[in-house]
Chains A and B, each alone.
Chain A
Amino acid sequence: MSNTDDIRWVTQVALLGDKNAFDKLTCKYQSPIRRFFMNLTAGDGPLSDDLAQETFIKAYLNITAFKGLSGFSTWLYRIAYNVYYDSVRAQKHYEDIDETVIDNQHHTLNEFSAEKMDIYKALKMLRKEEQTAVLLFYMEDKTHKEIARIMNCPLGTAKTYILKGKERLTVYLTKAGYGN
């Protein structure tokens, strides 16, 4: 399924209100968007799904605002980024979530979490912006330009987030024995 399919489906949703087309878009992008949130929320599955759902509903309601200057995927990540930061701002306690709470989540809520502890611990070493930029670059294979669009910041700033994140993660992973 190519970007041409995306444009066709977006046009059908925007012009005709075609829910079938939006169903196809949601089906195509549910996995990367939910994975993005899962990593940002340190493996909190229910919260990730709530945020992903909010992202898709916002995308549906604002689809006429999609101008096609960037790919649909980039636009969707931009909404996801906003939804996540709105959630962080609304619930400040997620910033101070402690290891015990994360451990509990990992053992009760998320079947994949035990084996994913390393990535969540590694990401916790970074600032929120660095986490987002690094995840988009290394996990979701976005370019610097796309990341700048998603995070609504200058290209140089996006590159700096990735660079700083990369430096900190390298130190952490090397100490954890990954580079050997």
Chain B
Amino acid sequence: METNNKDKLLKDFFSNYKQEIADNGFTAHVMQKLPEETYRGWIVWIFAAIGMALTFYIGLQSGLVDHLLVLFKHVPVYYIIGGVFCFPLLGTAGFYFSQTKDYHLI
């Protein structure tokens, strides 16, 4: 028998027996058996803190901060603080709490 014919024979044979198996609670059973979750969101916070620290340090070293200060001389400083730091922090905190709530619902 030619190789192509053999392949076709086997493909037909196996496709006849290929069937989807219904979940029937299997996934729920697996989820029950999983060990207790450990929240690892702190990794995101550590990287965010390192990133901010690095940015600030490089900014100081290169004089970027001084230039920015000159640029924003006429803008009230609390606008800058609010825009640059508070908004992303509040956004991340909001995301964190919404996720935490989700975990407890499982």
Contacts and interface: CB of A to CB of B under 8 A. Distances in A.
Contacts, number: 98
B74 interface: no
Nearest to B1: A170
B10 A17 contact: no
Given A173-B13, A178-B9, A112 B19 contact: yes
Contact of B31 (A23, A38, A134): A23
A170 B14 CA distance: 12
Contacts of A61: 35
B4 to A, nearest CB: 12
Nearest to B14: A138
B17 A38 contact: no
A4 B24 CA distance: 26
B10 A19 contact: no
A166 B34 contact: no
Contacts of B22: 31
B39 interface: yes
Interface string B20-41: 1111001101110111011111
B34 A19 contact: yes
Contacts of B1: 170, 174, 179
Given A15-B40, A170-B6, A30 B31 contact: no
A122 B10 CA distance: 11
Contacts of B14: 119, 135, 138-139
Contacts of B35: 60-61
A27 interface: yes
Contacts of B30: 26, 30, 53, 56-57
A158 to B, nearest CB: 16
A40 to B, nearest CB: 13
A174 B5 CA distance: 11
B9 A170 contact: yes
Contact of A116 (B17, B20, B99): B17
Interface of B: 1, 5-7, 9-11, 13-14, 17-23, 26-27, 29-31, 33-35, 37-41, 43-44, 99, 102-103, 106
26 contacts: A15-B40, A15-B41, A16-B39, A16-B40, A17-B40, A18-B99, A19-B37, A22-B34, A26-B26, A26-B27, A27-B23, A30-B21, A30-B26, A34-B21, A56-B30, A57-B34, A116-B17, A119-B13, A119-B17, A134-B10, A138-B10, A138-B11, A138-B13, A166-B6, A173-B9, A174-B1
